[in-house]
Amino acid sequence: MGNTRICLLGVGAYLPERIMTNEEWTEHVDTSDEWITARTGIKRRRIAADGEGTVDMAVAAALCALDDAGLAPDEIDEIIVTTDTPEVYIPDTAAFVQYRLGAREIPAYALGSSGCAGFLQALDIARARCHFGVGRVLVIGVEVLSRLISWNDRNTSVLFGDAAAAFIIGQGKLGAEIIGVTAGTDGSRVDILMMEVGGSRRPFTLEEAQQGEHQHVIMNGRELFKEAVRRMSEAACRVIEQAGVTLQDIALVVPHQANLRIIQAVAKKLDMPLNKFFINVQEYGNTGSASVPLALWEARKNGLIAGGDLVLLTSFGAGFHWAAALLRF
Ligand SMILES: CC(C)(COP(=O)(O)OP(=O)(O)OC[C@H]1O[C@@H](n2cnc3c(N)ncnc32)[C@H](O)[C@@H]1OP(=O)(O)O)[C@@H](O)C(=O)NCCC(=O)NCCS
């Protein structure tokens, strides 16, 4: 890919105002604050307002990232949106975002259904596009998971939250350098997290819709947990090895925020102290493809990243997909 320097020009995020506590979930399902806290570390999550949609949130995060980069919408050359919760199936969210943002008639496309790994997969593609000569790419991760998932299923409902976050990347001398990105997939594990009803395999029936089947996530939590720890750790090791650095050189790890226990297990597997991991899962729950950029946005906002720091991003998602990235600030 030559010596072209690809860097992070701006980071932005958008969080819906409404905060939903664990206690509030007890009004909908048989659960408790103790159970959710002990098993996941989650205390609260944000819930999109009625009438607030995926596109509204994506555009708000994009404007925040543009502001951070000191750029106008017409200075963006490509848009990639990653989401499992589009407002409509066709066309993709990227088309809506391109228009609402006031961007030029540039390529805009979406990655969907790769779960929480989607954002770093998109970053991998965006980085390659910049090496190819595209000037600036806007990458947005956005989820309104509160509308996708059943509010009657305690196994999954309490885990998720709504959010959007965005990066702007491009060639240049300013901003954190994206040193490397790695990604992989093991499609033999599609069984551990799936929404089966609603696609071409099992189109909606009235009966199933009435029973809420279209919002039913099949999840093998324990298997997912194990795969998540293994794949996030492996991806982290691969990206630092490719960059010729070691785990000791890493100032901060920004992992996918699915579950505090998963993050603790990754820290243990990598033999790194937990205080090197940025954690905000207690505030927002699992926000899918928005999770990693939201965490990086908050870590930087909180002054946890200094110039020269090596920051490692690592994630996993349904599929089973995983991806990691290494940045030098
Ligand atoms: C889901 C998860 C929190 C469950 O934790 P766990 O320690 O594996 O849970 P256990 O298997 O010990 O307990 C499951 C029991 O808790 C119950 N339970 C599930 N959700 C519950 C809730 N919200 N409140 C109370 N009880 C709950 C189950 O019904 C089950 O009961 P049973 O034993 O009577 O059948 C954990 O497996 C996990 O985080 N996995 C990864 C999930 C994830 O990250 N998903 C998103 C991926 S992008």
Fill in the amino acid letter for 151: W
Name the token pair of 66: 């543009």
224 Cβ below 6 A of ligand 1: yes
Do 167 and 197 fall within a single domain?
no
Give Cα separations from 80 to 26, 96, 168, 324 (angstroms).
Answer: 37, 12, 10, 18
Do 116 and 131 fall within a single domain?
yes
Give the count of beta carbons closer than 10 Å to the beta carbon of residue 91.
Answer: 11
Q: Is the dihedral of CA 264, 269, 270, 273 positive or negative?
A: positive
Whether residue 199 is contained in a domain is answered as yes
Q: For 190-199, 203-212, 221-230, 255-264, which range has the lowest pLDDT when averaged over its residues? A: 203-212
Whether residue 227 is contained in a domain is answered as yes
C-alpha 328 to ligand 1 mean position (Å): 36
Q: In a 10 Å sphere around its CB, with 0-12 CB exposed, 13-18 middle and 19+ buried, how is residue 251 labelled?
A: middle
Query: Atom 35 of ligand 1 has which residue's CA nearest to it?
Result: 155
Active site residue 286: yes
Give Cα separations from 290 to 63, 189, 248, 283, 312 (angstroms).
Answer: 15, 23, 27, 14, 16
CATH of the domain at 237: 3.40.47.10
| Helices 54-69, 93-101: crossing angle, 10 deg rounding | 50
Coil, strand or helix at 164: strand
Name the token pair of 135: 């000037």
Confidence of residue 2 (pLDDT cuts 50, 70, 90): low
Do 132 and 274 fall within a single domain?
no
Q: Is the dihedral of CA 79, 80, 83, 88 positive or negative?
A: positive
Do 23 and 46 fall within a single domain?
yes
115 Cβ below 6 A of ligand 1: yes
Task: Select from 118, 147, 175 the last residue of a domain.
Answer: 175
Active site residue 22: no
Do 289 and 315 fall within a single domain?
yes
Do 53 and 154 fall within a single domain?
yes
Domain span including residue 251: 179-328
Q: How many domains does the chain have?
A: 2
Do 69 and 16 fall within a single domain?
yes
Do 165 and 239 fall within a single domain?
no
Q: What is the pLDDT of residues 76-97, one digit of tens each?
A: 999 999 999 999 999 999 999 9
329 Cβ below 6 A of ligand 1: no
Do 205 and 101 fall within a single domain?
no
| Helices 260-270, 221-243: crossing angle, 10 deg rounding | 40
Do 121 and 270 fall within a single domain?
no
Q: What is the pLDDT of residues 45-81, one digit of tens each?
A: 999 999 999 999 999 999 999 999 999 999 999 999 9
CA separation for the pair 17, 289 (Å, rounded):
19
C-alpha 325 to ligand 1 mean position (Å): 29
pTM higher than 0.95: yes
154 Cβ below 6 A of ligand 1: yes
Do 155 and 234 fall within a single domain?
no
